[in-house]
Each structure stands twice: as structure tokens, then as C-alpha cells.
């Protein structure tokens, strides 16, 4: 009897510990978390055909993840695009990649020279005039004479003061004299009257066709201060800086050739000449060609037009070619269906002078005091 009682108590304990017995044939809902997306689920019915809402592939037990493999992972292979070098935009002349530093300012190896001004364009750009837009050239019409030099540079390039002085003009209307003349050929222009002069006459520099002006009337500037930005306002065919030197008066008719006033880069010189026919009459808009005998590079220039421009009081020139690397050159001038040529030496930091007299050819004597300067 006691044994039967003990057996009944033991069975009661087992029944109470297990709770409700699960029927293996009853359907049961099981939620499985996808290994590919934790937010997606799939529902299966045990004992029935699976009908998953989302059925992502499960990893095979025989294919462990790549991170668990014993073999090392391959290293990434670098491509050409993986390393990109960026350089500033430079507009070099043929055969050069930058402009050398300038000689000290002012610079003059002879009592007749006056290299007083720094380049108004940063050294990342050539700084030499566009060959067919030099001083004294004729453009846009037979009576339109170029009274400065055009220096190439991209739009927005800083324009720099060529020397210390005070701003005496800032805005449009420089040619007409009216600050309201928005159609003025100079466009946005600045004029600086410099703290120094030459032969007891005041000196001015002009910066024209700018996209913006960053100075105001009466402001004092030092050499290299920003005047504005290169643009194409006024009468232009594209962005560049029109630069002038005026001597004696801030006036369109008082300009001088800037290539005789801008300090040349170290190792470079300037060629100035007076080109005439056999009677001693100046030849206007006449072609002059130089050939560098070392690099074979050709440079062209035309003699001055018949009016508006002015020659230097000493050289009495009617053609100038600046920024020529020092060395030996062949100088060519066509005349009367013939090509006259002679070998010359361009000396660094100074002016090499010549005259041409028609059938008499070249002369390298010093300028004659009897020469009639261009008015």
C-alpha cells in the first residue's frame, strides 16, 4: 500500500513539471531571421509544405563565410585613377613652362633704359604680349592703332599693380572720359599714377578690359597689389589684360611702348629697331621676324602704325620685341621682294638696337640724335 502511494506521488510530480504536452501533429509557427537582411522574416509550418513570404538563400554548412577561410584575401590592385595629381593651369609659350623671375626693379644697364615696372600678370603665366597685339599694331580697322600690349591670361586671373602709386581712374569710360559710358572700348579700367616719373614727367599705367575692379579712386597701391581680375569687357575678342604706359599725361595720345618699361625676366633681353626705306622714311606695319638659332623658334612683330603711338626719346624706334631669351638670332626683314637677314646677339637684361635702311640693309650703330621721333 505504501509502495502504491509513493508511485502515485512521483507520477504527479512529473506531470506538474512538464505542463501541457505538445501534440506533434498540430501546426506550430516558427519565425526565422534571414541572414541577408535582419528586417526580413520567413514563416514555416512544421509538418506541412513550407510557404515562405521571403525565402533568402541560407548559407551552406559546407561553405563557410569568406572571412573564415584559411586562405588570405587578395590585396586590392591600384589603378591609374587611384592617384591624381593636380597642377595649376599654365599657359606657356612654345618650349617654356613658366616665366623666370624678373631682374630687380628698377633695372637699367645703360643710362637710356627705364625698366621701371613689374609684370602685371602673375608668374604662372607667360607675361609676354600676344605677338600680333603688340604696341603700335593696327586692329579692327585701318585707323585703329593699338596703344598698349595685350597680355594673355585666363578669365579671373589677378591683375597686379606694376609699381607703387595712386589710383586716379577706376571704372568704365576711360577713353571717352565719362564714367557713365558703358560702351567705352577700354571696358572696366584702372589707371595708376606712380610715385616716380621719368625726365621730370609723371608716369601712368593702364589696366583695361578687366572682369572686375578691386580698387577705388584715390587708393594707394604697392607693387604686386591686386588691381582687379582679367576679363573681356569693352572691345575685345577674348579675355586678356590690355596694359599701357603713359608718360607726361594720362591721355590716349601720350602712350609709350610698355616692352621698353617692363622689367625683363632674368636671362632675357629686348630688341628695338627703326625700320625705314632707302629714303629714310619709316615703314609702317612692316613685318619683322626673329629666329632663335638655338631653338629655331620664330617670333614676329610689325612696325608701328602711322599715328597715335610714340617712340622712345632715345631709341626713336618703330618696332620692339621683348622677352627674347639671350642668345644668337637671325633677324629677317622682307623688303622690295627680297629677304634681308643678319645674325644678331640678344644680350640679357638690356636692349639690343638696330636700324634698317632699305637696300642699304642693317646698321647696329647707336641711335642717331638726328632721328625724327614718332609723334
Q: For 158-185, how does the pLDDT look when each residue is reduced to its tens digit (9 = 90+)?
A: 999 999 999 999 999 999 999 999 999 9
Identify the bridge partners of residue 329 per DSSP, sorted by sequence position: 292, 344
Q: For 62-76, how does the pLDDT look when each residue is reduced to its tens digit (9 = 90+)?
A: 444 444 434 444 433
Identify whether 266 is part of a domain. Answer: yes
CA distance linking residue 164 with residue 197, whole number of Å? 11
pLDDT at 131: 62
pLDDT at 99: 74
Identify whether 188 is part of a domain. Answer: yes
Q: What are phi and psi of 9, to 5 degrees?
A: -65, -40
Q: What are phi and psi of 92, to 5 degrees?
A: -80, 155
Boundaries of domain holding 241: 131-363
**Grid cell digits, residue 333:** 626683314
Q: Which residues of the chain have pLDDT under 70?
A: 1-98, 127-128, 131-132, 139-143, 369-375
- The helix (run of H) or strand (run of E) holding residue 327 is strand 327-335
Question: Other CB atoms closer than 10 Å to residue 29's CB: what's the count?
Answer: 8
For 360, left (φ over 0), alpha (ψ -120 to 50), or beta? alpha
Identify whether 167 is part of a domain. Answer: yes
Identify whether 103 is part of a domain. Answer: no
Q: What is the CATH number of the domain that holds 297?
A: 2.70.70.10
Dihedral (CA of 336, 323, 258, 351) sign: negative
Identify whether 291 is part of a domain. Answer: yes
Identify whether 6 is part of a domain. Answer: no
Structural domain total, the chain: 1
Identify whether 4 is part of a domain. Answer: no
Identify whether 278 is part of a domain. Answer: yes
| Cα pseudo-dihedral 307, 312, 317, 320, rounded to 10 | -100
127 with 99: CB under 8 angstroms? yes
Determine if the pTM surpasses 0.75. no
CA distance linking residue 249 with residue 273, whole number of Å? 25
pLDDT at 141: 61
Amino acid at each position: 500500500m505504501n509502495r502504491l502511494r509513493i508511485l502515485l506521488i512521483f507520477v504527479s510530480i512529473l506531470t506538474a513539471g512538464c505542463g501541457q504536452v505538445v501534440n506533434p501533429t498540430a501546426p506550430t509557427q516558427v519565425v526565422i531571421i534571414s541572414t541577408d537582411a535582419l528586417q526580413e522574416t520567413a514563416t514555416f509550418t512544421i509538418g506541412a509544405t513550407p510557404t515562405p513570404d521571403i525565402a533568402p538563400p541560407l548559407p551552406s554548412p559546407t561553405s563557410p563565410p569568406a572571412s573564415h577561410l584559411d586562405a588570405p584575401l587578395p590585396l586590392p590592385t591600384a589603378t591609374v585613377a587611384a592617384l591624381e595629381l593636380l597642377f595649376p593651369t599654365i599657359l606657356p609659350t612654345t618650349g617654356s613652362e613658366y616665366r623666370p623671375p624678373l631682374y630687380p626693379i628698377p633695372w637699367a644697364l645703360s643710362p637710356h633704359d627705364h625698366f621701371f615696372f613689374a609684370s602685371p600678370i602673375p608668374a604662372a603665366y607667360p607675361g609676354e604680349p600676344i605677338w600680333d597685339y603688340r604696341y603700335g599694331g593696327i586692329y579692327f580697322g585701318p585707323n585703329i592703332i593699338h596703344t598698349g600690349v595685350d597680355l594673355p591670361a585666363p578669365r579671373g586671373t589677378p591683375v597686379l599693380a606694376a609699381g607703387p602709386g595712386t589710383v586716379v581712374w577706376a571704372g568704365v569710360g576711360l577713353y571717352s572720359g565719362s564714367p557713365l559710358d558703358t560702351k567705352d572700348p577700354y571696358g572696366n579700367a584702372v589707371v595708376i599714377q606712380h610715385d616716380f616719373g621719368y625726365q621730370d614727367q609723371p608716369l601712368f599705367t593702364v589696366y583695361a578690359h578687366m572682369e572686375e575692379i578691386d580698387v577705388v579712386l584715390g587708393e594707394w597701391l604697392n607693387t604686386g597689389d591686386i588691381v582687379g581680375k582679367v576679363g573681356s569687357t569693352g572691345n575685345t575678342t577674348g579675355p586678356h589684360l590690355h596694359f599701357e604706359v603713359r608718360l607726361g599725361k594720362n591721355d590716349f595720345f601720350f602712350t609709350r611702348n610698355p616692352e621698353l618699361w617692363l622689367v625683363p625676366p632674368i636671362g632675357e633681353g629686348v630688341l628695338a629697331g627703326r625700320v625705314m626705306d632707302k629714303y629714310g622714311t619709316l615703314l609702317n606695319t612692316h613685318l619683322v621676324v626673329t629666329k632663335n638659332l638655338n631653338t629655331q623658334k620664330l617670333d614676329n612683330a610689325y612696325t608701328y602704325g602711322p599715328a597715335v603711338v610714340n617712340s622712345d626719346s632715345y631709341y626713336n624706334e618703330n618696332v620692339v620685341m621683348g622677352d627674347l631669351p639671350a642668345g644668337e638670332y637671325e633677324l629677317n626683314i622682307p623688303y622690295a621682294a627680297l629677304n634681308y637677314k643678319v645674325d644678331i646677339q640678344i644680350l640679357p637684361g638690356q636692349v639690343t638696337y638696330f636700324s634698317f635702311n632699305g637696300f642699304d640693309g642693317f646698321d647696329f650703330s647707336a641711335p642717331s640724335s638726328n632721328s625724327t621721333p614718332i609723334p
